[in-house]
Structure 1
């Protein structure tokens, strides 16, 4: 084999290896992101009953965190106890979070950064690498050039204030502050305590992860695509301030403190398929693509769920097929009603699409 042929192969292998290692903190652990049914999307209102359907196996608690300040040999739930669940909805490029925390001293009476905080970092395409200005790999770039061209662009960091009394709900760390507002994010809190009190805080929110989120605004932004079984990089830290403003804990899900600015130090999360109890045993679904409009050729793609043993297509022009993924040629222009009926050991289902298929 010549060197000219070996080099491209090595480059491909290096790229695959790099993608595998991008989110490499805790390499033996992959956390789960719950898939909500499309008709049961959690309402962001502070009422957490929407999350009752999420199994306990999705919960990530204090026992999974590392005390980064070294004050404790293991997490001290008497000082701060947290529970987090993460969800997603197929077809919506959003990550939903439920954060519940009980603290012996809630600190939030200052207007600046010093506030009890839930800090999350997300890298949904596993691009990895640094994401804040001072970690820019080119040390010749000035701080402000790095900030406005690089900081938070390919992975995002949110300093979420718990609670955000007299301030915005989060600092989106970088020049793209628009990512923390609708239509890209939303949040709601429930708590009943004053600064310095103990008590419980509940926070529901969702964010939109971006493969590209530049300082110029959302016009050129690229949302991260979320789909079943996708792996993403995600981690969080819980900053716990106590009386006098000193930190009583800096709890990390990642084993690396600098995960706040290094996407390669995040933890792997998987976007899960829907739990069986929320799925119909057989559900018809299909899509199509016009592959040759001049010849009116349409390729149909079965996307049904469940154990399927037979497919029956009605193309709306008097023709049918029992193939799973048929290609059909229409003789005449028109708007067609196409129906797919599927059947299996656990039942049958049918899906009709009215006038989606159009040829001229």
Structure 2
């Protein structure tokens, strides 16, 4: 039986920063994010040892995620089972590059071929702005609206992307592809090359910039979010 862990969370971009958070879901829940200095940015090689500097309380596991979905049925009172799916991950950021970094370690007892990915949804300015088309819009207006004020991306970071038929970084709501690579995103992975139904281990490092206004036809005109120490961003993660 396949399981999805979904964590809907907000992150505060500072260490030691505390405040009430009433403009996101779940109310009052925030996590802190490690700040990488420009002189010591992570090397993207899927070796997570350099992330050992990040305090343990900034790491998130399957036990911290607030929703557990089993075959589309919400069973939030069910405890996650680490023998089935175990994740340990943390985020970081850098003020000069505006990048948000992810270090991700995963054990799964079943390689499902198509559903094993990571999905991130980021509302970087925490505005709650629209990112999907609305009724009555023209096709042109609808395409402009998708991914505009928040972005959702699936990361199929493994050696079977051609077999699955998807790119490694897929903003599924838009036809754009210019965000797949520098200066907008990059990453690395290592895993145990499972066959269908086998258990596996998977480590990922990646970084991505995110936008206050994403224009799928205009990379230069799209507005990258300027990360600020002490601000709160919206970020949802599905595993």
Asked whether the two chains share a fold, i.e. TM above 0.5, the reply is yes
Q: Normalising by structure 2, what TM-score?
A: 0.80
C-alpha distance after superposition, 1:299-340 (max 9, x if no partner): xxxxxxxxxxxxxxxxxxxxxxxxxxxxxxxxxxxxxxxxxx
2:215 maps to 1:214? yes
Which range is displaced more, 119-128 or 162-171? 162-171
SS in 2 for 1:205: strand
Equivalence for 1:244? none
Whose strand fraction is larger, Structure 1's or Structure 2's?
1
Q: 1:38 aligned to 2:38?
A: yes
Structure 2 partner of 1:91: 96
Deviations 1:281-306 (A, max 9, x none): xxxxxxxxxxxxxxxxxxxxxxxxxx
The answer (yes or no) to whether the contact 2:129–2:149 under 8 Å persists in 1 is: no
The 2-side partners of 1:91 and 1:127 are apart by: 22
Post-superposition CA distance 1:17-37 (Å, at most 9, x none):
xxx754x11112111110112
Residue 91 of structure 1 and its aligned partner are, at CA, apart by 1.8
Q: CA deviation at 1:93?
A: 0.5
User: Tell me, which stretches of 5 or more residues in structure 1 are unaligned?
Assistant: 1-19, 109-113, 239-360
- Is 1:70 aligned with 2:66? no
Q: Secondary structure at the match of 1:219?
A: coil
CA apart distance, 1:217: 2.3
How many residue pairs were aligned?
208
Q: Secondary structure at the match of 1:39?
A: helix
Q: Distance in 2 between matches of 1:38 and 1:217?
A: 28
Partner of 1:172: 171
| CA RMSD, Structure 1 to Structure 2 (Å) | 1.8
Q: Deviations over 1:77-105 (max 9, x none)?
A: 22111111000122221100011110001
* Candidates 149, 153, 172, aligned match of 1:154: 149
> What is the match of residue 125 of structure 1?
125
SS at match of 2:143: helix
Farther off after superposition, 90-99 or 160-169: 160-169
Deviation at 1:216, TM superposition (A): 1.4
Written as runs of structure 1 = structure 2, the 5 A alignment for 1:200-279 is 200-238=201-239
- Structure holding more helix per residue: 1
CA contact (8 A) 1:212 1:222 kept: yes
| Structure possessing the higher radius of gyration over alpha carbons | 1
TM-score, normalized by length of structure 1? 0.55
Distance 1:71 1:226 in 2: 34
SS at match of 2:28: coil
Report how far residue 224 of structure 1 moved.
0.2
Q: Is residue 62–residue 83 contact of structure 1 (8 Å, CA) maintained in 2?
A: yes
Q: State the distance in 2 between where 1:64 and 1:87 align.
A: 18
Identify the structure with bigger relative contact order (alpha carbons < 8 Å, sequence gap 6+).
2
Aligned 8 A contact 1:147 1:175 in 2 = no
Q: Unmatched 5+ residue regions in structure 2?
A: 1-20
